[in-house]
Structure 1
Amino acid sequence: MGDGPLNGGHQESQELNETRWRRCLSALKKVLNVVLAQWLVIGFGLSCLLAYFFPNVAAHGGIIRSEYSILYGGVSIIFLVSGLQLSHEKLRMNLTSWRLHIIVQGISFVLIPVIMLVIVRIIIAAGDLRSGAIDTSVLVGLVVLSCLPTTIASNVVMTRAAGGDDAAAIIEVVIGNTLGAFICPGLIYAFLPPQREFDAWRPASVSTLGRMYADVSMQLGLSVVLPLVVGQMVRWFWVKQVQWALDHLYLAKVSAFFLITIVWATFSSAFKTGALYRLPKGSVIFDVFINVATYLIFTLCCFFLARPPATIVNLINRNVAESRIGGRLPNIMRRAVRVRQMSKSQTVAICFCGAAKTQSLGIPLIAAMWTHTDSLTMAYIQIPVVLYTMEQVFLAQVLVYFFKWYLRRDPDQDHKEVLFSAPAGPSRVEEPP
């Protein structure tokens, strides 16, 4: 009888401990779920720390030779997985979408350089350049950055993570980087301000670009086009096996992992040069904040050019249809010049591709165009390119959550277009047949 209260107390204590353990396990499970959900951001953070403390490992020419192992091997795996995931119909449909090409490449090679030139002109007019508040090399680097094509890998991975049209992103990567290798030098020559403060920072003649063209063409062919073609061929012959591998081997996670290695290599090269430490702190801080502001501005421009408000679309189409020239156009030409809203999934791809810039072309382009200067001068010009490409990955990861919500909010609207069909009738919204 005397043992009863003691046994009861012991049982209550044991139940209390079990309750505490269950609560601890539940809390630990929640923490692990958060970590797993945010593993890409955590991976980016760890890659930055590793690059800071051990820059010689993944820098250009470092221990693992990242210019080959990551920029060729890692990027190749990303596009091999993309080739396995994408249907042939989606690639063919986006390849023939000339509106998609005009919007993305127009933003990348026309709109963004113009916006950046306006910003640089404002800085020059404000006198910050003459006062030394902002280093000239930063402005030169910003002009170079604005003329570059879209990045090669991160925009595809982010588009896929958000649920957008990754086939559209891949097509624009190939087109943009193929065009960019040839038109970027001319854009840089054209957009560099004529002020005498820039005389010491002007690039050499175009005759120095031969090696750069060869390097960029080889990287684009071996790390993007060839793996994509191989993935499509494997998907064509072994559909069931490919689907099993995608479902059970988590190949999408593999692509994201190699994106982390690209960020690691980028940060490592930035820290290894030491240019970040030698450049005035005010210039570095300015560059960091101007990159954030311009990336968000560019993304907004991409979004509204891809899906302008229905009232604006109808107004433009009505004015074109009722104009003297529009009334004389054949129906096929009238349909071609009609403004439309892109699908929501394509809009996501446009936002990630249009606002992004690549250092895969930017770094060798600067090395080729400024080959007559010393390595520190080239490193100064490369800093805005490196910082922007690093920051855009973090900002794009935040935008992934926004675009996921955007696509879930009204998925039925994804295939609707805003059309104006009657040349003299009222504006309206129709669904294509």
Structure 2
Amino acid sequence: MKRLDPFLMCLIGAVLLASFLPCPTIWQPWLSRLTSLLIMLMFFFQGAKLHRRALLDSVKNWRLQGTTLLITFLVFPLLGIGLYGLSHQLSATGFLGPELWAGMLFLCCLPSTIQSSIALTSMARGNVPAAICAATVSNILGIFITPLLCGLFFDHSSSGGSGLQTILNVAEELLLPFILGQCMQRWVGPIVHRHKFLISCSDRGSIIVLVYSAFSTAVLQGLWHRIPVILLVGVGVADAIVLALALGITYLLGRMMRQNIEDDITLQFCGSKKALTSGVTMASVIFPTSAGIIVLPLMIYHQLQLFVCTVIARHYARRPQLDHEAGPPQ
């Protein structure tokens, strides 16, 4: 059995620390400024690291790339709406309550994750270059599409402003540093590629601080008094249903498109996953007063997708090696 992701364990530690030692209210403005600075720094490094050639190559396999984006930003939101409507048919308030349902719908609006999508595609011997392109383009477009979808799903008071204002806020905090990193790639890029471990620590460290900040605010607002254990189990069940449907839909679409198995793997992993990093950062901008509760479904979904997709990737990896996969003879 795959051991727990150390990054996820750090996130759980941040949640526990915030639960028992939340940041005092008087220090929260300073913590908020720190997290904003760390987020901007993280996206600056992402811009400096990403080669422009990867963006240009993303348009070559338009069927695979287009289908992945369609699942991420259309099929997933429809799944969320369908599950939401079904739950409200069974119960007047739904079995999760309004805040956790907001988190579920927000989860469905997010882009695909980058690192684990690529790693699992590689483990399963899928089309890794296509996975890099699909996940990268999904995250860049998500800066615009996710706030727009949130503006459609949530009223202005719950999402911190109008749809246009939300996009501007996200663009200022995420896209602008990314573009600046792209502009300075010539000078900063080599440094980022030489010190990948330090940059990875910086990225993950900023998310851990952000999770602590978000949950500190939520705990001071009575998070654990408002969400009993039974609701957390309900979130896990809802996440499992969404993940199972996404994996099934991506598999069937791949078969219907008559792709090779490598492209099927890429579609399944890139199309079924949701980005924890982008999700937590966007939640802090879109839902400044309730990010802690909003990201709970995402954190549970993150671990579910890692465990389930790792099992699937190992299954794919055991298939016979074909001649076209083996590469040119030595």
TM over 0.5: yes
Q: What is the Cα-based RMSD across aligned positions, in Å? A: 4.5
TM-aligned CA distance change 1:260 to 1:361, over 3 Å: closer
CA contact (8 A) 2:68 2:271 kept: yes
Please say if residues 151 and 163 of structure 2, whose CA atoms lie closer than 8 Å, have aligned partners that are also in contact.
no
Instruction: Classify 1:154/1:180 alpha carbon distance in 2 versus 1 (closer, same or farther; 3 Å).
Output: same
Write the distance in 2 (CA, Å) between the matches of 1:361 and 1:155.
Answer: 14
Match of 1:100 in 2: 64
Taking the aligned partners of 2:29 and 2:306, their CA distance within structure 1 comes to 25
Indicate if the aligned counterparts of 2:207 and 2:281 stay in contact, CA closer than 8 A. Answer: no
Identity of aligned residues (%): 18
Matched, 1:389 2:306: no
Distance in 2 (alpha carbons) for counterparts of 1:202 and 1:80? 30
**Following the alignment from structure 1 to structure 2, what is the Cα–Cα distance between the partners of residues 60 and 409?**
53
Q: What's the counterpart of residue 288 of structure 1? A: 236
In structure 1, what is the equivalent of residue 140 of structure 2? 178
Q: Which residue of 2 aligns with 1:216?
A: 174
CA distance in structure 2 between the aligned counterparts of 1:168 and 1:134, rounded to whole angstroms: 37
Offset, 1:122: 0.7
Match 1:297 to one of 245, 248, 253: 245
Separation of aligned partners in 1, 2:245 and 2:79: 9
AA in 2 matched with 1:135: G
Residue of 150, 158, 161 corresponding to 1:188:
150
Q: 1:115 aligns with which of 74, 79, 83?
A: 79
2:35, 2:156 → 1: CA distance?
34
> TM-score scaled to structure 2, two decimals?
0.71
- The amino acid across from 2:319 in the alignment is R
Higher-RCO chain (CA-CA 8 Å, sequence separation at least 6):
2
Q: Is the contact between residue 156 and residue 166 of structure 1 (CA under 8 Å) also seen in structure 2?
A: yes
Partner of 1:400: 310
> What is the CA deviation profile of residues 115-156 of structure 1, one whole-angstrom value per residue up to 9, with x for unaligned ones?
1111000111112407xx532122223223212222354434
Q: Partners of 1:254 and 1:304 in 2: how far apart?
A: 40
> Distance in 1 between the 2:119 and 2:57 partners?
20
Worse-matched range after superposition: 105-114 or 161-170: 161-170
Structure 1 portions without partners, runs of 5+ = 1-33, 193-197, 235-241, 314-338, 416-433
Structure 2's unaligned 5+ residue stretches are 326-330
Tell me the equivalent position of 2:328: none
Q: 1:169 to 1:383 in 2, by over 3 A?
A: farther
Give the superposition deviation at 1:42: 4.2
Q: Rg: which structure is higher?
A: 1
Shift of 1:408: 3.6
- Answering whether residue 44 of structure 2 is matched by residue 135 of structure 1, we say no
Aligned length: 313
Q: TM-score, normalized by length of structure 1?
A: 0.57
Task: After superposition, give the CA deviation of every residue in 1:347-379 in whole Å (9 maximum; x if it has no partner).
Answer: 3333332223345555565566567xxx2xx33
Q: Aligned equivalents of 1:405 and 1:134: distance in 2?
A: 34
Counterpart position of 1:125: 89
Deviation at 1:73, TM superposition (A): 5.2
Asked if 1:355 corresponds to 2:272, the answer is yes
Aligned counterpart, 2:5: 41
Amino acid in structure 1 at the alignment position of 2:271: G
Q: 1:302 to 1:146 in 2, by over 3 A?
A: same
Asked whether the 8 Å contact 1:78–1:258 carries over to 2, the reply is: no
Distance in 1, Cα, partners of 2:302 & 2:48 = 21
